[in-house]
Amino acid sequence: MGEFSRSIASLTAEMLACNTLEKAQAYLQSLNEPISLHSYIAGSFKAWDAGSTSSVDSFEPKTGRLIAKIPNTSEADVELAIHHAKLAFPTWSKTPRSHRSDCLRRIANLIQENRELLAVWESIDQGKTLERAQVEVDRAVSNFSYFSTYILHEQTPARMIDATSTSASVLTYEHRSPAGVFALISPWNMPLYLLTWKIAPCLAFGCTAVAKPSEITSITAFLLTAIIHESEILPPGVLNLVLGDGPTTGAALVASPNIAGVSFTGGTATGIALRKATAHQIGKHLSLELGGKNPLLLFSDALVPTPDHPAPLPHFAALAAAAAFTNQGEICLCTSRVYVQEASYPAFLATFAAHVRATYAPGTTPAMGALASRAHYDKVRGYLALAEREGATFEVGGVPPEEPEGGGYWVGPVVLTGVRGGSAVLREEIFGPVVVVVPFGSEEEGVRLANGSGYGLAAVVVTRDGGRMRRVGEAMEAGVVWVNGWLQRELVLQGGWVGV
């Protein structure tokens, strides 16, 4: 086992003992200062000194209090982490798949064993409810267990080239080999779940990793490395963690010529910056999962009761609400524009608004916690103030106060109508509990409105007409299309058409 300084060891032990919200809150209350999180390089946590290292403050969204300090890992230390990941690569990439599979399965088990405490810290750090955090920890378990078996059964395409008068037939096949060290950069909305969705396939396929979570939500990434460190499952250098902000730590990681590829999930503007920053490094792999302004298109045919579907209106109103407000709307795949066919518009809006009011009061349901940061609160509030200035109707909710009440970043659900066509509220990603409802007439108009944003991440089509499912589903300019459902996901799906 690598060096594990006593103070860091006791910090992680204390945090890992907090398996209820009450225990974690009591622990935080008992401290005289915020928790210091640490980067993890070559099998050791790296101690740092707040006097000499620049750092980032991390606040608890539900209360607004300072709970943690994160070092801005320097370019030199980022390069050190990459260096050790590179040293670990030749051996790890040649480690038999069966062994890598076993390592991933054991990590899945460890996350499962630590489910409650990881969910507790995720809820405290990100603002989400404990119930939502538990769902995401379960998905983190699935990330490791899925790829632990996937690599054992991976297939590769093979094709024949016909014989010609001058040559025999030729068998061609695709061979994939581990590329090297990957930079894994994740956002703040589903911290553990999204980071493990990068770590698991990276390690499964024989690459080594330098991971950087968002500076706003680094706690569960730190705890995950502590749990893996204690288990001694991975050789030093295979998984490294560098904490810090995007411009300092993230940018240094992406720019390094020793990084073979970058797997990034985050905002579109950052994605563009990453593409520019790596444009000259032609061999560098770049995977970008960016923002969304996702439509839900509801056709009147779906609301006709049938013997096996006697109450479609409340059912689909609940579906649209879940798609809009799960995790406070802080999921890239959340619906933020609901288009409803004119004949059903009044009935749908009334049922939808009543359901949202009854179900999504902040803090009272599994779906709604506090927004992740003060900066994000201000951003969401800015869009709502704009909607008000532009004369939109708040069917549910309103503009939150400039200074968050009680210090926490709470914003209740907002349903808007009467938003003007070109408004930024309808065009730009708000990434909060805000949804705009708009009527449409013909199928063609609905498709045009749904496709009328610069994004193309996901869409939902609600119809019970089989022909329309395919016709409209395939006309959606989106990477993933759900029909009569939302958020079901096959982990290796790169985009496609999901019918339920």
Q: Write out the catalytic residue numbers.
A: 289
> Least separation, in Å, of the C-beta of 194 and ligand NDP?
6
Using CB under 6 A, which residues numbered 393 to 432 contact ligand NDP?
429, 431
DSSP E strands, 76-214: 158-161, 170-173, 181-185, 208-212
Within 151-184, residue ranges assigned H as helices are: none
Taking CB under 6 A as the criterion, the residue among 270, 294, 326, 463 binding ligand NDP is 270
> Least separation, in Å, of the C-beta of 66 and ligand NDP?
17
Please give the Cα distance from 332 to 456 (Å, whole number): 11
Taking CB under 6 A as the criterion, the residue among 18, 67, 210, 251 binding ligand NDP is 251
Residue 412: name the closest of 480, 363, 462, 479 by CA.
363
Residue 313 or 457 having the CB closest to ligand NDP: 457
Partners of 341 in beta bridges: 440
291 scored as a contact of ligand NDP (CB under 6 A): yes
CB 437 within 8 A of CB 395: yes
Choices 289-297, 298-306, 359-367, 480-488; region in contact with ligand NDP by CB under 6 A: 289-297
Please give the Cα distance from 209 to 200 (Å, whole number): 10
Choices 17-25, 35-43, 208-216, 341-349; region in contact with ligand NDP by CB under 6 A: 208-216
Taking CB under 6 A as the criterion, the residue among 122, 125, 289, 428 binding ligand NDP is 289
CA dist list (Å): 176 to 93, 207, 208, 229, 490 = 12, 12, 16, 29, 22
> Least separation, in Å, of the C-beta of 296 and ligand NDP?
16
User: Which position's Cβ is nearest ligand NDP?
Assistant: 246
Please give the Cα distance from 69 to 433 (Å, whole number): 28
Q: What does the angle CA 452 – CA 456 – CA 320 come to, to the nearest 5 degrees?
A: 80
Residue 262 or 349 having the CB closest to ligand NDP: 262
Residue located via tokens 């499962």:
112
Choices 38-46, 283-291, 295-303, 408-416; region in contact with ligand NDP by CB under 6 A: 283-291
Q: Are strands 44-46 and 39-41 parallel, antiparallel or unpaired?
A: antiparallel
185 scored as a contact of ligand NDP (CB under 6 A): yes
Choices 114-122, 284-292, 341-349, 402-410; region in contact with ligand NDP by CB under 6 A: 284-292
Residue 82: name the closest of 366, 312, 284 by CA.
284
Say if residue 176 is exposed, middle or buried (CB neighbours under 10 Å; 0-12, 13-18, 19+): exposed
Residue 56 or 415 having the CB closest to ligand NDP: 56
Residue 77 or 429 having the CB closest to ligand NDP: 429
Taking CB under 6 A as the criterion, the residue among 8, 80, 254, 302 binding ligand NDP is 254
Residue 239 or 349 having the CB closest to ligand NDP: 239
- Tell me the angle at which helices 97-113 and 115-126 cross, rounded to the nearest 10 degrees: 70
294 scored as a contact of ligand NDP (CB under 6 A): no
Using CB under 6 A, which residues numbered 310 to 349 contact ligand NDP?
332
Taking CB under 6 A as the criterion, the residue among 114, 214, 220, 263 binding ligand NDP is 214
Residue 192 or 194 having the CB closest to ligand NDP: 194
Q: What is the DSSP letter of 401?
A: P
Backbone angles phi, psi at 219, to 5 degrees: -65, -50
Residue 192: name the closest of 114, 252, 246 by CA.
114
241 scored as a contact of ligand NDP (CB under 6 A): no
CB 111 within 8 A of CB 223: no
169-172, long-range: CB < 8 A, 24+ apart = none
> Least separation, in Å, of the C-beta of 292 and ligand NDP?
5
Q: How many CA atoms lie within 13 A of 70 on its CB side?
A: 28
Taking CB under 6 A as the criterion, the residue among 81, 233, 425, 457 binding ligand NDP is 457
121 scored as a contact of ligand NDP (CB under 6 A): no
Q: Where on the chain is the footprint of ligand NDP (CB under 6 A)? A: 185-189, 194, 212, 214-216, 245-247, 250-251, 254, 265-267, 270, 273-274, 289-292, 332, 429, 431, 457
